[in-house]
Amino acid sequence: MSDDQSPSAEAPASTFRNVLVLLAIAVAAAGFFLVRARMDARIRQLGLSDPEAKKHLVTEPMTKNAATFQDKPAPAVELTDSEGKPVSLRELTKEKPVVLYFVKDGCPCSETYEPFLQELARNYADVVTVLAVIDGTRETAQAWSSRFVLPYRIANDPTSETMARWGATNSAYTALIDREGKLVAYWPGYSRWMLEELSQKISEITGVPRRRLAILDAPSQLYTGCSFGTEDPSQIVVP
């Protein structure tokens, strides 16, 4: 082949490389916009795009108050679950450490938190018991369990006295209690880093390897749920 034929021979290869580069860029761009769309949808679902959502950011006093409960005997939980069976935190911790969290019926943050708790429960089912406590009647607990197909028990407290005993002013408060009944960690809300920290602490107190959780959609900041008070100034209006 002569020298004057070389450029034309290389042209198809160069064009092919350019096409591959353009395809790679297109795929990357499509992936970015897909992830962005999912994040925006999650933000709208959480209500975090609404100005009212700022009221759901965990405050410093909430964090400090939750910290006063840590490394102490966990407050009592003596209730009945959605099936009418007695629930005792003391009895549950005799078998496994317990992840306890509080739910407010109708709270969007409680609803959005559920998939993340279920992800954690599935990954640590062999070493940890998860227990939800909802404000409302047994029927309220049954409806919540049915709606979200809970893989764990949910107890009900129509007076919210249990929440008050735990200093849980809002839903999404989450605690880890070890087998001795000590409150190892207590968070006044949830976020991606909080769930990672919870996973790490479960690993530490049970001796099992830390397990990977599908929680990339969780908020980057620590968010709490709606108030358990008679008035609810932090109610989110979901679009």
pTM reported for the whole predicted model: 0.75
For the chain, what are the domain ranges?
A: 3-46, 52-206
145-162 average pLDDT score: 96
Tokens standing for residue 209: 């390897």
Question: Which CATH architecture group holds 52-206?
Answer: 3-Layer(aba) Sandwich (3.40)
How high is the pLDDT of residue 25?
74
Angle, vertex CA 149, rays to CA 205 and CA 219, nearest 5: 60
| pLDDT(70) > 50 | yes
Q: Which residues contact 220 (CB under 8 A, 6 or more apart)?
A: 191, 192, 193
Which amino acid, residue 158?
A: P
User: Tens digits of per-residue pLDDT, 169-202?
Assistant: 999 999 999 999 999 999 999 999 999 999 999 9
161-167 average pLDDT score: 95
42-53 average pLDDT score: 48
